[in-house]
Amino acid sequence: MESQGVAVEELAVVNPFVMAQKQCDDCSSILNVDPGIREIIREPMQEIHVSIPVRMDDGSIKVFKGFRVIHNTALGPAKGGIRFHPDETADTVRALAAWMTWKCSLMELPLGGGKGGVICNPKEMSPGELERLSRGYVERVWHVIGPDKDIPAPDVYTNPQVMAWMMDEFSKIAGKNQFGVITGKPLRIGGSFGRHDATARGGLYVLREAARHCRLNLRGATLAIQGFGNAGSYVGSLARELFGCCIVAVSDSKGAAYNSMGLDPLLLNEHKRVTGSVVDYPGTEYITQEELLELDVDVLCPCSLENVITVENAARIKATIVAEFANGPTTPEADSILYEKGVHLLPDFLCNAGGVTVSYFEMVQNFNMFYWEEKEVYERLDKKMTAAYDSVLDISREYKLNMRRAAYIVAVRRVAEAMQLRGWV
């Protein structure tokens, strides 16, 4: 597999796709799956690479590179977000598409896995440029997406407004309203209650179960949040609201703010909105992101990007529970170190599955043209997250495996069964 022109060996620790394949191989061996299945699930089923010309505000044309990867559709149409990021790579999108397959399977959603990405820096683009890029992306990929084919959603640096433009563009091409083509839309145009904070809320339901398992009282438990963005800021405010946790440190790309007595996530959010960073929030001490990860806290929540807990720092992680709200924050080597240390890890495709779960609820509401109340969304989400955690914990005990491997076993088994029933192998 081509890996952005760099030898795979050089990237073995950090290339997310190499990491995803390694996790897959590992699970295939434990499960002793059919060799055909093993080969199929290592690679995406389909991917397209596009160039998107966008008229910039100064009149010039800039061409952006984009991708859409469909990893597996054995369980249903592909599902997964679209990221707008300057460091996006095809391999990252491939890995993320695979993780979506396992995420949807683990949550028992009738969906497969996909992911999209565009190499761009939305922080440096005007709203008009972003709208033209979003519409341009759909113009290039409309033939592979669709309500019964592949349904995108928000991810890193994309939001409900971007989803609204994309849905509108797809509807124009289709010649009819197509709310079901995308999820994470604004409420007024087919969005679901509870989608905006679903990733955080879903992960916190899992954390509640994990804390019960570890006999950790969440009231007053200390939490460090790495990455105070979309998911991270909701993790902070909801962990306090739902369980009375004490948020002692949060970070963003500029550094971290720490106060052993606790921070107010809502005020911190406001400080970040005004100053652009969590750093220098009054009454806090500046620490580095690395220092935040190694704090002596009850729960560590990686909430940003890949490769945050690695072989370099895993041995120094002191948290009782690591809750992966981000996708791919822990490398496989670091996984083993954490497991040996007795850290209870909530793997990404379990812990952050609340987003896609409410996305699925949004699809169901769109198809039925009947919308649920907030309470119904939360109750259904809680049920799904709790059931998924229980199934992973059971397997981890039965096979004496770490939680990520156990989650893979649950997820891969279901996809393998679907592939076999469909006669793919």
Residue numbers of the site for ligand GLU (CB under 6 A)?
A: 79-81, 103, 153, 155, 183-184, 327, 352, 355-356, 359
Nearer residue to ligand GLU within complex by CB, 251 or 357? 357
98/338 with CB nearer ligand GLU: 98
Shortest Å, Cβ 40 to ligand GLU: 22
Q: What SS3 class is residue 46?
A: strand
Catalytic residue ranges:
115
Q: Tell me the pairing of strands 150-151 and 246-252.
A: unpaired
Asked if 242 contacts 355 with a C-beta cutoff of 8 angstroms, the reply is no
> Quick one: DSSP state of residue 249?
E
- Between 248 and 351, CB nearer to ligand GLU: 351
Nearest CB to ligand GLU, comparing residues 144 and 263: 144
Whichever of 327 and 365 has its CB closer to ligand GLU, that residue is 327
Residue closer to ligand GLU (CB basis): 154 or 236: 154
Residue nearest to ligand GLU according to CB distances in the complex: 81
Which residues fall within 8 angstroms of residue 61, CB to CB, at 6 or more apart? 53, 54, 55
Kindly state the smallest distance separating residue 111's Cβ from ligand GLU, in Å. Answer: 8
Quote the CA–CA distance of 250 and 229 in Å, as a whole number. Answer: 10
Residue 352 CB, nearest distance to ligand GLU (Å)? 6
DSSP output for 101-121: HHHHHHTT-S-EEEEEEEE--
Question: Cβ of residue 171: shortest distance to ligand GLU, in angstroms?
Answer: 19
Residue 129's contacts (CB-CB under 8 Å, 6 or more residues apart) are 54, 56, 57
Dihedral, 117, 120, 122, 127 alpha carbons, nearest 10: -100
339: CB partners within 8 A, 6+ apart = 345, 402
Burial of 236 (0-12, 13-18, 19+ CB in 10 A): buried
Residues 6 or more apart in contact with residue 354 via CB below 8 angstroms? 198, 199, 200, 201, 202, 203, 205, 381, 385
Instruction: Name the minimum Å distance from CB 76 to ligand GLU.
Output: 12
318: burial class by Cβ within 10 Å (0-12, 13-18, 19+)? middle
Judged by CB, which is closer to ligand GLU: 327, or 330?
A: 327
* Paired tokens of 302: 């990686």
C-alpha to C-alpha distance for 203 and 231, rounded to whole angstroms: 10
